[in-house]
Structure 1
Amino acid sequence: MTGTAFSVRPRTAAPRSVSVAFTGLVTALLCGVGEAITYTAVQLDRPDADIGSLTAGLAVRGAIYLVVLGVAVHMAHGARWARIVLTFGIGVIGTASLIIEPLAATLSAREIGDLFDNLTAAAVITGIFRTGHILAVLVAIPAMYRPSARRYFHS
């Protein structure tokens, strides 16, 4: 299937913008893994920790992260379909899922100080991972659409 959105042809080298996009996506995935580990560690510290639920959650996240990594590899090799999937899956749905919770907390606070009342080390670490995740995606998605990347995906 040459010349279609699903074609992948061997290429000599990906342009820098595609390499930046791939690095951003891997960084986002690593931040997601860090956030998942932090969440799991906090939950395991509770006396009523539900090991089964935590295991299932980690399995689902792990599967999603592996699929995203696979799609990112295809994108790095020039697959146009992968760029589209990453744009909507990670750029839109994934980013929205990361922003909704902090945005809801911010909007429901009566005063700005309320946001810091129950601040824990785990919450700070989670916030750092989540911020890194969002920033990495905000670098990766536009990089996939730079002029050199567009030529790469359309050649």
Structure 2
Amino acid sequence: MTGTAFSLWPENLSLAPLRAPARAPRAVALAFVALVVALLAGVAEALAQAALLLERSEVDLGDLAVGLALRGVLYLVVLAVAIRMTYGDRWARVALTAGIGVLGLASLLVEPIRAVLAADEAADLVEGITASGVGIATFRVLHVAAVLVAIPAMYHRTARPYFRA
């Protein structure tokens, strides 16, 4: 197709941004699996909290839908970055460390820390506990634990050379 915009496209420029990955070290594979577990736990927690909110009569369905949509987009972005991390992209490892390892963990831990600091006695922490509260807390603990596995795994001595290549 001469004389069109297509003829100006460089021959060596590929539209496919993914390159065939080298075999990722076990630590990188572990980090990816842990990140997927963290994402699934986050989705489960979000859905459980949304279900609890739907039981209230004063819930704003529009706000709830927007919140769930934003969280869904965020989780998809994290998944895409995690996939790039498996290809050895250093920027993805750094982004996951800052985003999930710092900001994400902080957002997950602020509420429980605030509850502990506000409690006068240890018994106040378990007062009024419900089965749904235990379920949400379980998802939160799984989420945090998975992140605490994923981030160090990305920096394991066997993973470091993979991100330098």
- TM-score grouping bracket, smaller chain normalisation: over 0.9
The Cα RMSD (Å) is 1.3
Q: What stretches of structure 1 move > 4 A for 4+ residues in a row?
A: none
**Candidates 57, 61, 66, aligned match of 1:47:** 57
* CA deviations over 1:80-119 (Å, ceiling 9, x no partner): 0000000000000000110010001001100000011121
Gaps of 5+ in 2: 1-16
1:8 is displaced (CA, Å) by: 7.2
Report the counterpart of residue 89 of structure 2 in structure 1: 79
Identity of aligned residues (%): 52
* CA deviations over 1:66-86 (Å, ceiling 9, x no partner): 000000000011110000000
Which is greater in Rg?
A: 2
**Candidates 41, 45, 53, aligned match of 1:35:** 45
Count of aligned pairs between the two proteins: 149
Say if 2:162 is the partner of 1:149: no
Report the counterpart of residue 107 of structure 1 in structure 2: 117
Give the whole-Å Cα distance in 2 for the aligned partners of 1:154 and 1:125.
41
**C-alpha contact 1:71 1:82 (8 A) present in aligned 2:** yes
SS for the counterpart of 2:21 is coil
Give the whole-Å Cα distance in 2 for the aligned partners of 1:53 and 1:113.
34
* CA deviations over 1:36-76 (Å, ceiling 9, x no partner): 00000000011112111110000010000000000000001
Give the whole-Å Cα distance in 2 for the aligned partners of 1:107 and 1:69.
33
1:120 is displaced (CA, Å) by: 1.2
SS for the counterpart of 1:29 is helix
**C-alpha contact 2:22 2:87 (8 A) present in aligned 1:** no
Give the whole-Å Cα distance in 2 for the aligned partners of 1:11 and 1:56.
36
Report the counterpart of residue 15 of structure 1 in structure 2: 25
Aligned partner of 2:39: which letter?
A: L
SS for the counterpart of 2:59 is coil
**C-alpha contact 2:28 2:86 (8 A) present in aligned 1:** yes
SS for the counterpart of 1:14 is coil
Q: TM-score, normalised by structure 1?
A: 0.93
Q: TM-score, normalised by structure 2?
A: 0.87
Give the whole-Å Cα distance in 2 for the aligned partners of 1:126 and 1:61.
16
